Amino acid sequence: MAAPEGPLVIGVDSSTQSTKVLVVDTATGAVVARGQAPHVVTAEHDSDPEQWWSALVEAVEQCGPVARQAAAISVAGQQHGLVALGAEGRPVRNALLWNDTRSAPQRDRLIEELGGPGVWAERTGSVPAPSFTVTKWAWLRENEPEAAAATRAVRLPHDYLTGRLTGQGVTGGTTDRGDASGSGWWSSDTESYDEAILSHVGLDPALLPRVVASGEAAGTVASGLPLPEGILVAGGTGDNMAGALGLGLGPGRPVLSLGTSGTVYTVSERRATDASGIVAGFADARDDWLPLACTLNCTQAVDRFAALLGLDREAVEPGGSAVVLPFLDGERTPDLPYASGLVHGLRHGTTRGQLLQAAYDGAVFALLRALDLVLDDTADTSEPILLIGGGARGTAWRETVRRLSGRPVKVPVADELVALGAAAQAAGLLIGRDPAAVARDWETTAGSSHGAVERDDDALARLDATLHDADALLRQR
């Protein structure tokens, strides 16, 4: 390995399924070491936060001695998860993850009780989905009151790991504006916690972490870790915000991320307030905004269809009239938390490959419907969609996006963009630069370009009509 040209930093991506760690040269963006360790997620979509910490330590150790040369570290984590800590700083129960929709009844009540969708959008930037942390806290208080009463600190996943790195207890935690904006109790209007919402759900603001400013350190690494003691710990952020940093994203450039969840987002200089609930008006990890739409059912849902059909995930075939709405775990976009998967339009001539292609179409359709709402009127609609996430490597995913969007697509070569964005945040803190500018210097969007093709309006019309006609069925509990 060639000697690094600049100081080394560590970027951490603590996702639903695993923790990934990159050791990165700040001067070039070159990844000099990497590690990865898995998480266990229950059938109820919860997870033990202590195993995230064990996975982080294991992944750092896999990087070898080079990790001990790092000068700064930052953690990006899955958004929305509720980590409730007791007096000793240990979880009082497993964390409720973003894709756990059992708080849908509490979400419905909260929206109604606090003035309706428009009020929520104006105050917090978003109409809360059942994935949002505020709905999970309401569920916990209602269904597990002993656990709620024992809680002495409430954290998001990245907050919890940052606190473990710095050795901060339940009274000294930090978060950032990006991840906080997905909680449902942080106001994008005032850029502070909304005490009226917190009072309504019975959460003491003292249990929440301090929101650090962009470019501000959360602390330094505590002793006893496989890292240099005393190195800087950046504020960290949510995974989508870190992905935007990893791309060095500027205003108006669309991103479509294909992973366990699917997301479309862009950076904007305008605060979003979409009362329809399709677009979440998140803050980014800097001083701008990150309007975003998210689906719960993406690569895993399509892989499940492939497994049921006995096909390789790339074994798609064109043609046919089948429509698949792959809402296997309920859905967030469109807002159908009680939905299950739906197959419509089967004929004698329908092949397994056509049915698999219909599953891809259904997953991508939900994301593309939201894209026009994510992008404001200043965006250039001919700009290529940046396609990232695990699905971006798949031909069937890429071609489905091209066919249903009618737009050019670019697939960056850089992988692990969330961890890379966390590394850019750590580098920015270390050298005193804008982390997005650091990532642009690293040329993280370099990759393969794929031109626009004619949009498949027939497939879009079938999907739109099926979604409309099946609305009552999809809303049944």
d(C-alpha 135, C-alpha 79), whole Å = 14
* Residue 51 and residue 42 in contact, taking contact as beta carbons nearer than 8 Å: no
Please spell the DSSP secondary structure of 203-253, one letter per residue.
--GGGSPEEEPTT-EEEEPPSSSSS-TT-EEE--EEHHHHHHHHTT--BT-
Q: In terms of DSSP bridges, do strands 70-77 and 232-234 run parallel, antiparallel, or are they unpaired?
A: parallel
Tokens of 73: 């570290």
**Residues with catalytic function:** 239
Which 3 state secondary structure label does DSSP give 395? helix
Single out the residue of 226, 281, 176 nearest to residue 65, CA to CA.
226
d(C-alpha 355, C-alpha 267), whole Å = 35
d(C-alpha 318, C-alpha 467), whole Å = 21
Single out the residue of 305, 307, 366, 364 nearest to residue 332, CA to CA.
366
d(C-alpha 368, C-alpha 260), whole Å = 17
Single out the residue of 132, 147, 119 nearest to residue 180, CA to CA.
132
Half-sphere exposure of 408 (CA within 13 A, CB side): 11
Tokens of 362: 């259904």
